[in-house]
Amino acid sequence: MSEWVLDLKGVRKTYRGGVEALRGIDLQVPRGSVFGLLGPNGAGKSTLVKILTTIIRPTAGEGQFLGERVGHKPTLRKVGYLPEHARFPEYLTAREVVKMTAGLCGMKPALTKIRSEELLNRVGLADWQHKKVGGFSKGMKQRVGLAQALVNNPEVVFLDEPTDGVDPAGRRDIRLLLEELRAEGKTVFVNSHLLGELEMVCDRVAILSKGEIKLEGPLTDLMGQKVEYRASCGKLTSELQSSLEKKGGRWEGSQLVIPVTKAEEAMPYLDQLREAGVVVESFTRNSMSLEELFMETVGTDTPGASPRPPQTNRQAPPLPPTS
């Protein structure tokens, strides 16, 4: 069994009318991971998911998905899907929606009953399973969508904005569910604009923009690329401030930002502060958040975004000298 569930080379999609939604995607996704597909509106995320779920065909390129060529329909038996803005017949109960998907997957009725009960319990709808989805809130409908996406015990699940409209406790439940799926060896593709949530759960991410992958890899590696240390200081002289700036430090309020990746490299700064009798109230390591990484990668590609001003080191207002 290959370690990759997905292996794409040069995948392109040009829609009728000439929109180049994907411009040559190379992507490998390991089995048993939670993979975040990120990108601004119109980046091509849904187009990629639609190609993998055989809804549309790529214009060019090749790839393997679960050991078969991309587009091989029988492979979909091993796939679960929660589309963006999923809608279900309002006159069906939650249980009937899940049973309907089970039926479409060709599942035996006896197993269907057990699976739908178990899954509705798992997504927190045990008490609501006999109620019609027409009366459900947006977040409850998302939970029904999640349950139906898992009914065939898939190897790979695509979740397009799974936490859309879900309250904070429900989002945490979904995050825990994704972790359980990963522990079961399943691969989860999750597409969300809630980067803080993805940061908590994804093993790897790909940032897509204008049909191209701009950045891809293990989240810890990507976020760890830009590490800095921060020291919160008491009062210090303007001479000491400028001497630390000459070393490479910069000020954000009363915090000295030390642009180094290892704690030992920050020690000369702390030594200088201590020698001058400055109280160091805290010393912390900061890595980039996923949101910062995203904005740095595609900030100006976001529809409607204004170009970012050039990065400047924010200077702290001069502190009153102590001597």
Ligand X SMILES: Nc1ncnc2c1ncn2[C@@H]1O[C@H](COP(=O)(O)OP(=O)(O)OP(=O)(O)O)[C@@H](O)[C@H]1O
Part in contact with Mg ion (CB under 5 A); list of ranges 45-53, 120-128, 166-174, 311-319: 45-53
Part in contact with Mg ion (CB under 5 A); list of ranges 22-30, 42-50, 147-155, 237-245: 42-50
Beta strands in 222-311 (DSSP E): 227-233, 250-252, 255-258, 280-287
Cβ(38)–Cβ(209) below 8 Å: no
CB of 274 to Mg ion, least distance (A): 53
Judged by beta carbon, residue 40 or residue 170, the one nearer Mg ion is: 40
Judged by beta carbon, residue 53 or residue 129, the one nearer ligand X is: 53
Give the other-Cβ count within 10 Å of 118's Cβ. Answer: 14
CB of 60 to ligand X, least distance (A): 16
Residue with the closest Cβ to Mg ion?
46
Cβ(44)–Cβ(298) below 8 Å: no
Q: Select from ligand X, Mg ion, none the partner in contact with residue 74, using the beta carbon and a kind-dependent cut-off of 5 to 8 Å.
A: none
C-alpha to C-alpha distance for 89 and 134, rounded to whole angstroms: 8
How far apart, in Å, are the Cα atoms of 208 and each of 43, 95, 205? 6, 36, 10
Judged by beta carbon, residue 45 or residue 186, the one nearer Mg ion is: 45
268-273: Cβ within 8 A, 24+ apart:
269/231, 269/244, 270/231, 272/240, 272/243, 272/244, 272/247, 273/231, 273/233, 273/236, 273/240, 273/244
CA torsion 55→57→63→68, rounded to 10°? 50
Q: What track of x and - describes contact with ligand X for positions 81 through 110 (by CB under 6 A)?
A: ------------------------------
User: What 3-state DSSP class applies to 146?
Assistant: helix
What number of chain residues touch Mg ion (CB under 5 A)? 2
Token pair of 92 as six digits? 């069906």
C-alpha to C-alpha distance for 126 and 164, rounded to whole angstroms: 21
Q: What track of x and - describes contact with ligand X for positions 25 through 64 (by CB under 6 A)?
A: --------------x-xxxxxxx-----------------
Judged by beta carbon, residue 146 or residue 236, the one nearer Mg ion is: 146
Q: Is the dihedral of CA 207, 85, 12, 306 positive or negative?
A: negative
Token pair of 268 as six digits? 């000369």
Judged by beta carbon, residue 56 or residue 260, the one nearer Mg ion is: 56
Q: What track of x and - describes contact with Mg ion for positions 287 through 306 (by CB under 5 A)?
A: --------------------
C-alpha to C-alpha distance for 243 and 86, rounded to whole angstroms: 58
| DSSP structural state of residue 70 | T
Q: Select from ligand X, Mg ion, none the partner in contact with residue 309, using the beta carbon and a kind-dependent cut-off of 5 to 8 Å.
A: none
Q: Select from Mg ion, ligand X, none the partner in contact with residue 41, using the beta carbon and a kind-dependent cut-off of 5 to 8 Å.
A: ligand X
Q: Select from Mg ion, ligand X, none the partner in contact with residue 303, using the beta carbon and a kind-dependent cut-off of 5 to 8 Å.
A: none
Judged by beta carbon, residue 37 or residue 79, the one nearer Mg ion is: 37
Q: Which residue in the set 38, 39, 44, 46 belongs to the binding site for Mg ion (CB under 5 A)? A: 46
Q: What track of x and - describes contact with ligand X for positions 132 through 161 (by CB under 6 A)?
A: ------------------------------
Interface with ligand X (CB under 6 A): 15, 17, 19, 21, 39, 41-47
Interface with Mg ion (CB under 5 A): 45-46
